[in-house]
Amino acid sequence: MNENETITQPEIFPGVVHPTAGGGILVSSIDDVVNWARSNSLWPLVFGTSCCAIEMMSTASAKYDWSRFGFEVARATPRQADVIIIAGTIVNKMAPVLKRLYDQMADPKWVIAMGACATSGGPFFYNTYSVVKGADHVIPVDVYIAGCPPRPEALLHALITLQQKIKSGLTREQIRSGV
């Protein structure tokens, strides 16, 4: 919300609104604090289907530690997770499972598609009958990582990009339309 916008009331609104001087600054500062807190403690969901899961495990272990960035606690249950890192190929049989996991996560939630298979089907694009050509056919994705498998540093770069995206406070549609 911009500080300069005036608040228009609908007719049935009971009472009178007194615009306070400086009220918009207070709310947007709280927004910033909330976004900072959210981005610095994202808890990923343990979801690795194939080879990229090993690089995700490498990122979690001591050499390329991701808990420096706040991703320490990798939860196994979607109810307690914030971000789902789709590491691996999604096939037709797994797609309803992925959708169900995504629905079970509480808002606000984000999605990272790791690797070529989750981005677009990857090396299994041509002549396969059972591969979903890209995880974004199933759930909306925020960050895509290229590579087969991507290096742990690439995954860390994607996590930092996601943190910057959350701190900016913009929605997916706003980013797409170039705000």
Name every residue whose Cβ is closer than 8 Å to that of residue 127 and which is 6 or more positions away in sequence: none
- One of 43, 46, 69, 165 touching another protein (CB under 8 A): 46
34-63 per-residue burial string, b: 16 or more CB within 10 A, e: under 16: ebeebbeebebbbbbbeebbebbebbbeee
- One of 35, 94, 157, 165 touching another protein (CB under 8 A): 94
| Residue 85 or 166 with smaller CB distance to another protein | 85
Q: Based on the shown chain and the rule CB under 8 A, indicate whether residue 88 belongs to the binding site for another protein.
A: yes
- In this structure, the number of other CB atoms found within 10 A of the CB of residue 105 comes to 20
- One of 9, 40, 41, 61 touching another protein (CB under 8 A): 61
| Residue 18 or 63 with smaller CB distance to another protein | 63
Candidates 86, 88, 87, 92; CA nearest to 130 is: 92
- One of 133, 157, 165, 167 touching another protein (CB under 8 A): 133
Q: Based on the shown chain and the rule CB under 8 A, indicate whether residue 140 belongs to the binding site for another protein.
A: no
